[in-house]
Amino acid sequence: MMKEIIKSKLAVLDPVFIEVVNESDRHNVPAGSESHFKVVIVTDRFEGQRLLARHRVIYQLLAQEMQQPIHALALHTYTPDEWQKQQDYVPDSPECRGGSRFS
């Protein structure tokens, strides 16, 4: 299952919190797809890193999966202090804006 692969690969960042959500059903993909994910990850490793650097780390760790089958990845990356200030709130992903239609 792709969700577990993502969690496993991101475990090297020693997250204090990680949530991986398969959002494929909110997009125009075949039933049962595992192509659109939201990742919420909280780790001390992001301390002192800008958002772009954090995302690069994750894309590097998931490079093989980003070739295929992952089509979209919504990333929410926090340090523990940022997470506490967010009060554990993660914004909803935007609605799908297109793509192929499947029955």
| Domain containing residue 23: CATH number | 3.30.300.90
Mean pLDDT of the chain: 83
- Of 60, 56, 58, the closest CA to residue 20 belongs to 58
Task: Look at residue 32 in the predicted model and tell me its pLDDT.
Answer: 52
Residue 60, token pair as written in the block:
């590097």
Q: What is the DSSP letter of 69?
A: T
Task: Look at residue 80 in the predicted model and tell me its pLDDT.
Answer: 96
Alpha helices in 1-103 (DSSP H): 2-10, 51-61, 63-67, 80-86
In a domain, 7, yes or no: yes
pTM: 0.81
In a domain, 100, yes or no: no
In a domain, 63, yes or no: yes
Q: What is the DSSP letter of 13?
A: G
Task: Look at residue 14 in the predicted model and tell me its pLDDT.
Answer: 98
Place 9 in a pLDDT band, splitting at 50, 70 and 90: very high
In a domain, 92, yes or no: no
Q: Give the integer Cα–Cα distance in Å for 3 and 8.
A: 9
| Total domain count, the chain | 1
In a domain, 76, yes or no: yes
State percent of the chain over pLDDT 70. 77
- pLDDT digit string, tens, across residues 17-66: 999 998 765 655 555 556 778 899 999 999 999 999 999 999 999 999 88
Task: Look at residue 42 in the predicted model and tell me its pLDDT.
Answer: 96
In a domain, 98, yes or no: no
**What residues have CB less than 8 Å from 48, skipping those under 6 apart?**
none
In a domain, 96, yes or no: no
Q: In what order do the strands lie in the sheet with 36-42?
A: 17-22, 36-42, 72-78
In a domain, 97, yes or no: no
**Domain containing 15: what range?**
2-27+34-86
